[in-house]
């Protein structure tokens, strides 16, 4: 089984060099944020405050709107929207905000003529499971009912990165139980998502490559215990919590993306395999040697990934 092409294989040395330099710069940027508290709840709050300083300048074209009682950051195309792209940001369910994806969401709206709605869902530890998915489902159901009047289309793509990839799987799984809802969802763009909250082997540090990563097993344990406090790993694998353990039949086409150095690698590989076995259409992009958050490291592999994403989105919009 060949997980990447010969062309991408030739790009690996460049990718390793870019990642090493990029992660060194990220470590330097966070070096002055102070010592992380030992208490996991306090560590989550500390990390949230530190991470907020990395968002960059907000895009002035974005509009904050309240949808189903949830703040959302929205981008509209110049002309009629071909669909609504429902976006969920990353951050381990403990940090992050829609603003961190302003540049990408603006580009998404411009290139594909879609309206983008990025959800500011509630975060743990103040709001553990199921608060975040509840917010995502509320916004999705509102868009299915009012999206055509508000944005010009009742068709929907759903996507997200990391914890947002988890949200982009968990929300459609619940929409499938709403009569007539899932038929409006054209596809799921699941980028290095958390699909096994019982901590897959790679989450625990058992990765096929030992390259540097933005995640660590201890960091993963922090956001897991904040988001799902008081549960055992087996209890965290309940189908309503961990998408990789759910019934995956009857779902729209999905694009899965992950790097081999990512501590969430196994989540994507298991979820994609079960998704295909359930009879749903799957495309899988595996980026050799690339870490979690690999889109932040511009190189030949990330350019190839972006072309894959754009082609997949266009195919879904044309379906």
| 262 catalytic per annotation | yes
- Torsional sign, CA 264, 267, 270, 276: negative
Query: How far apart (Å, rounded) are the C-alpha atoms in residues 216 and 237?
Result: 20
Query: How far apart (Å, rounded) are the C-alpha atoms in residues 214 and 273?
Result: 25
Structure tokens at 156: 């929907």
Give Cβ neighbours of residue 93 (< 8 Å, ≥ 6 apart).
123, 124, 129, 132, 163, 166, 194, 223, 226, 227
Name the β-bridge partners of 286: 258
CA 222 to each of CA 123, 142, 171, 198: distance values in angstroms, whole numbers, following the listed order: 13, 32, 23, 13
- Looking at the chain, list the stretches that DSSP marks H as alpha helix, in order from N- to C-terminal side: 6-9, 12-30, 40-51, 102-112, 131-151, 163-175, 217-227, 233-236, 265-277, 300-317
| 59 catalytic per annotation | no
Catalytic residue from among 47, 118, 153, 162: 162
**221-252 burial code (b ≥16 CB/10 A, e <16):** ebbbbbbbeebeeeebbeeebbbbbbebeebb
Give Cβ neighbours of residue 231 (< 8 Å, ≥ 6 apart).
none
| 78 catalytic per annotation | no
Q: Is the peptide bond before 130 cis (omega within 30 degrees of 0)?
A: yes
Catalytic residue from among 87, 184, 195, 292: 292
Torsions phi, psi of 157, nearest 5?
A: -110, 145
Catalytic residue from among 262, 266, 267, 289: 262
Point out the residues that are catalytic.
162, 262, 292
């Amino acid at each position: 089984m060949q997980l990447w092409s010969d062309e991408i294989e030739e790009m690996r040395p460049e990718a390793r060099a870019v990642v090493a330099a990029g992660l060194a710069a990220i470590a330097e940027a966070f070096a002055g944020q102070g010592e992380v508290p030992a208490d996991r709840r306090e560590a989550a709050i500390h990390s949230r405050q530190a991470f907020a300083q990395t968002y960059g300048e907000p895009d002035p074209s974005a509009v904050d709107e309240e949808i189903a009682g949830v703040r959302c950051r929205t981008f509209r195309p110049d002309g009629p929207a071909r669909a609504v792209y429902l976006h969920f940001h990353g951050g381990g369910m403990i940090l992050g905000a829609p603003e961190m994806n302003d540049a990408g969401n603006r580009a998404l709206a411009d290139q594909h003529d879609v309206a983008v709605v990025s959800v500011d869902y509630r975060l743990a530890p103040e709001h553990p499971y199921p608060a975040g998915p509840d917010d995502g489902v509320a916004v999705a159901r509102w868009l299915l009912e009012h999206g055509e009047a508000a944005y010009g289309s009742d068709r929907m793509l759903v996507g997200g990165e990391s914890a947002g990839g988890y949200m982009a799987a968990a929300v459609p799984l619940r929409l499938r139980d709403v009569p007539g809802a899932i038929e409006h969802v054209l596809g799921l763009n699941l980028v290095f998502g958390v699909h096994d909250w019982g901590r897959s082997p790679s989450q625990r540090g058992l990765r096929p490559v030992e390259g540097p990563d933005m995640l660590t097993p201890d960091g993963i344990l922090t956001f897991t215990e904040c988001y799902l406090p008081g549960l055992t790993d087996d209890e965290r694998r309940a189908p309503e919590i961990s998408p990789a353990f759910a019934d995956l039949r009857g779902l729209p086409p999905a694009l899965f993306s992950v790097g081999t150095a990512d501590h969430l690698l196994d989540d994507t590989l298991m979820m994609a395999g079960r998704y295909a076995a359930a009879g749903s259409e799957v495309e899988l992009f595996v980026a050799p040697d690339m870490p979690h958050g690999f889109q932040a490291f511009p190189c030949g592999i990330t350019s190839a990934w972006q072309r894959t994403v754009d082609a997949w989105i266009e195919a879904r919009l044309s379906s």
